[in-house]
């Protein structure tokens, strides 16, 4: 496996234990990224750690500090962090099993692939995986990742597992703080009926490959235009707010538009079966 593991340790179910590794399941390598440039010299700016009294310092010589009062810190180096050794530092201990729909989607966070390490642990991993598949449950455990203990949810996927870090309860804001001020409005029954029909006409299976980051692609087009000496202006008009007077008209027009696009759907579906064209690499 070419990727480097993000975390290595053991997966434990009661007395059954096997060595596993976690691999980041997502990548942002294709996103457009920028550097800070001095427009006077066209030089890339380097961020140099600087002590206000001693001047520039080497980053490797620095330690972390927790501020306990104004300008007073408790210092931590790498050795100090190594001394904080919980069981979850190197072991994912499965504590309970729950149904997937019991976990509010607000809590789901970063996904990781979980695979057994090569060696004798493969059979124990298979036992845990197949038992979870048979039970149809999500496993809940915890592990220390990036200097934080995190609760995780594990689910079976193919021959392996996927672990999702779960946000702590105190990090999830209460929806009532934002929804309580929404005015109580009784929607017109006919309008709701038309909107429901529009939803039915737009119903489809979720296909993540159809989504393209148009903002990222627009940035790449602007980069190409600027390379050729142009301004690379990319604009899109903002839609007007729909007012109460023309809401019914907008719904009726949307229904007709959705019906028209639905008649063309079979042609789109046939095209979707083709392999996507290889996108040219931006200069």
For residues 213 and 32, give the distance between their C-alpha atoms in angstroms, rounded to a whole number.
11
Contact 22, 10 (CB under 8 A): no
Spell out the residues 6+ positions from residue 56 whose beta carbon is closer than 8 angstroms to its own. 48, 49, 50
For residues 49 and 77, give the distance between their C-alpha atoms in angstroms, rounded to a whole number.
17
Query: From the CB of residue 156, how many other CB atoms can be counted at a distance below 10 Å?
Result: 21
Q: In the chain, which ranges are continuous DSSP H helix?
A: 78-83, 121-135, 176-179, 189-201, 214-227, 247-263, 265-272
| Res 94: pLDDT | 94
* DSSP-assigned letter for residue 15: T
> In the chain, which residues have pLDDT < 50?
1, 265-283
Spell out the residues 6+ positions from residue 156 whose beta carbon is closer than 8 angstroms to its own. 129, 132, 133
User: Tokens at residue 192, please?
Assistant: 């709701």
* DSSP-assigned letter for residue 283: -
Q: Which domains occur in the chain, in start order?
A: 7-27+84-171 (2.40.290.10), 183-265 (no CATH)
| Res 283: pLDDT | 31
| Res 10: pLDDT | 92
Query: From the CB of residue 148, how many other CB atoms can be counted at a distance below 10 Å?
Result: 9
For residues 260 and 255, give the distance between their C-alpha atoms in angstroms, rounded to a whole number.
9
| CA-closest candidate to residue 115, choices 189, 20, 236 | 20
Q: What percent of the chain has pLDDT over 90?
A: 43
* DSSP-assigned letter for residue 173: P
Burial of residue 223 (number of CB atoms within 10 Å: 0-12, 13-18, 19+): middle
| Res 133: pLDDT | 95
Beta-bridge mates of residue 17: 12
- Containing H/E element for 239? none
Q: CA distances (Å), 185 to each of 151, 181, 189, 243, in order?
A: 39, 12, 12, 14
Q: CA distances (Å), 271 to each of 204, 258, 267, in order?
A: 15, 19, 6
| Res 234: pLDDT | 53
| CA-closest candidate to residue 98, choices 149, 154, 151, 171 | 154
């Amino acid at each position: 496996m070419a990727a480097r593991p993000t975390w290595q340790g053991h997966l434990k179910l009661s007395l059954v234990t096997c060595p596993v590794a976690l691999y980041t399941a997502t990548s942002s390598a294709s996103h457009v990224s920028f550097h800070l440039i001095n427009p006077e010299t066209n030089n890339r700016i380097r961020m140099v750690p600087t002590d206000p009294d001693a001047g520039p310092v080497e980053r490797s010589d620095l330690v972390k500090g927790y501020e306990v009062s104004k300008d007073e810190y408790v210092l931590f180096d790498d050795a100090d962090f190594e001394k904080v050794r919980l069981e979850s530092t190197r072991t994912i201990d499965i504590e309970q099993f729950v149904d997937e729909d019991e976990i509010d989607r607000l809590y789901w966070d970063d996904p990781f692939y979980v695979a057994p390490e090569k060696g004798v642990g493969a059979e124990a991993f298979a036992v845990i995986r197949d038992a979870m598949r048979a039970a149809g449950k999500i496993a809940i455990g915890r592990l220390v990742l990036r200097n934080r203990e995190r609760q995780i949810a594990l689910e079976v996927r193919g021959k392996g597992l996927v672990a999702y870090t779960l946000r702590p309860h105190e990090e999830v804001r209460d929806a009532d703080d934002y929804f309580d001020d929404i005015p109580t409005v009784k929607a017109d029954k006919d309008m709701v009926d038309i909107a429901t029909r529009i939803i039915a006409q737009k119903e489809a299976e979720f296909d993540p490959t159809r989504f393209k980051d148009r903002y990222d692609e627009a940035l790449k087009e602007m980069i190409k235009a600027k390379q050729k000496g142009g301004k690379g202006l990319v604009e899109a008009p903002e839609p007007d707010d729909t007012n109460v007077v023309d809401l019914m008209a907008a719904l009726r027009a949307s229904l007709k538009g959705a019906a028209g696009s639905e008649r063309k759907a079979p042609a789109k579906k046939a095209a979707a079966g083709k392999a996507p064209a290889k996108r040219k690499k931006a200069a």
